[in-house]
Amino acid sequence: MRVFVTGASGFVGSAIVKELLQAGHQVLGLVRSDSAAEALIKAGAEVHHGNINDLESIKKCAAQCDAVIHTAFNHDFTRYKANCEDDRQVILALGEALASSDRPLVVTSGIGLLNYGRPVTENDTPPPSDKVPRAASEEAAKVMAEQGVNTYIVRLPPSVHGQGDHGFIPLLIGTSKEKGQSAYLGEGNNHWPAVHRFDAAVLYRLIVEKQPAQKVFHAVAEEGIPFRQIATTIGQGLHLPTVSIDVQNAEAHFGWFQYFAGIDCPASSEQSRTILGWEPAQTGLLENMVAGGYF
């Protein structure tokens, strides 16, 4: 297959490109910089220089391929809602390019949208985007599915870890260094699911290869790690105290990240494993933090 991958030089996208190429597929990767293009070409992929919000350009790329995997997303949280609405338009454009065909469109979403305080499954749905802006991506995917596009949703957990991680765990490490302590809220019993980026990449590949009837998948290797354990591992790694803070002091320590620090979103991937034959094989989050150069 020839697969168009957006965000092809990103943390998750680059792992997907590598996984697809190793499985014998061709990849057309969307990148913005010359250095990213060079890395993709060296890996064996084709390159399209462009911007994810240039809708006509990405539609042309999608039309040339047998499948599309969409991982690009602007994580500038100062304009979070606008970025979510931009992603809606990107997904609608990609879906339009694949209309009247069986070619799959795989869209990326987040487990954290389903913050229900219980293990959520692939059958659960997020609140509407007027309450949770990031749900715009799943809403767009649903619109395309209703129009006959072969659409899939992959929900990633709050921590997608591995070498080169620049997500939530490094952010927490930076905050701990700045504040001189690693913190969790209350008893720290809220849970974060996690997955290694190489395991997540396998799941994306299996979807485009098998194109199953199931349409929502959870890239979850660990159902839910207590946030207290994550904070403790950070404290030990930095040789800093690990402390509990109350909700009233959360913003002073975490800033805008306080919502994510308190999120409780354990998630099952039982259906995803059964349907795709997906078996995560990489190290878990806490072990990866210690042995993987996070500190």
In a domain, 261, yes or no: no
Indicate whether 261 pLDDT > 90: yes
- Per-residue model confidence (pLDDT) at position 62: 97
- Name the burial class of residue 279, with classes exposed (0-12), middle (13-18) and buried (19+) by CB atoms within 10 angstroms of its CB: exposed
- What is d(CA 218, CA 152) in angstroms, rounded to the nearest whole number? 11
Predicted local distance difference test score (pLDDT) of residue 246: 95
Q: Is residue 166 part of a domain?
A: no
- pLDDT at residue 78, rounded to an integer: 80
Tell me the pLDDT tens digit for each residue of 46-70. Answer: 999 999 999 999 999 999 999 999 9
Secondary structure (DSSP) of the chain: -EEEEETTTSHHHHHHHHHHHHTT-EEEEEESSHHHHHHHHHHT-EEEE--TT-HHHHHHHHHTSSEEEE------GGGHHHHHHHHHHHHHHHHHHHTTS--EEEEEEEGGG---SS-B-TT--PPPTTTSGGGHHHHHHHHHHHTT-EEEEEEEPSEEESTT--SHHHHHHHHHHHHTSEEEETT---EEEEEEHHHHHHHHHHHHHH--S--EEE--SEEEEEHHHHHHHHHHHHT--EEEE-GGGHHHHHGGGHHHHT----B--HHHHHHHT----SPPHHHHHHHTT--
Task: Tell me what pLDDT residue 115 has.
Answer: 85
What was the pLDDT predicted at 47? 96
State the CATH number of the domain containing residue 62.
3.40.50.720
Close Cβ partners of 24 (under 8 Å, ≥ 6 residues apart): none
**Helices 197-210 and 11-22, interaxial angle, to 10°?**
50
pLDDT at 77: 76
Q: Is residue 39 part of a domain?
A: yes
Tell me whether residue 46 is in a domain.
yes
Average per-residue pLDDT for the chain: 96
Which amino acid would we find at residue 111?
I
Classify residue 276: in a domain, yes or no: yes
pLDDT above 80: residue 221: yes
Q: Is the model's pLDDT at 76 over the cut of 90? A: no
Structural domains of the chain, count:
1
Mean pLDDT along residues 173-181: 98
8 Å CB contact between 188 and 226: yes
Q: What percent of the chain has pLDDT over 90?
A: 94
Q: What is the pLDDT of residue 74?
A: 86
Q: Which domain holds residue 81?
A: 2-161+194-221+267-281
Residue 34, both tokens: 């010359």
User: What are the tens digits of pLDDT across the range 107-146?
Assistant: 999 999 998 889 999 999 999 999 999 999 999 999 999 9
In a domain, 156, yes or no: yes
228 inside domain:
no
Please say whether the dihedral angle defined by the alpha carbons of residues 61, 138, 207 and 205, taken in this order, is positive or negative: positive
Any domain includes 293: no
pLDDT at residue 248 above 90? yes
**Residue entry with tokens 């699911």:** 193
Average of per-residue pLDDT across 228-253: 97
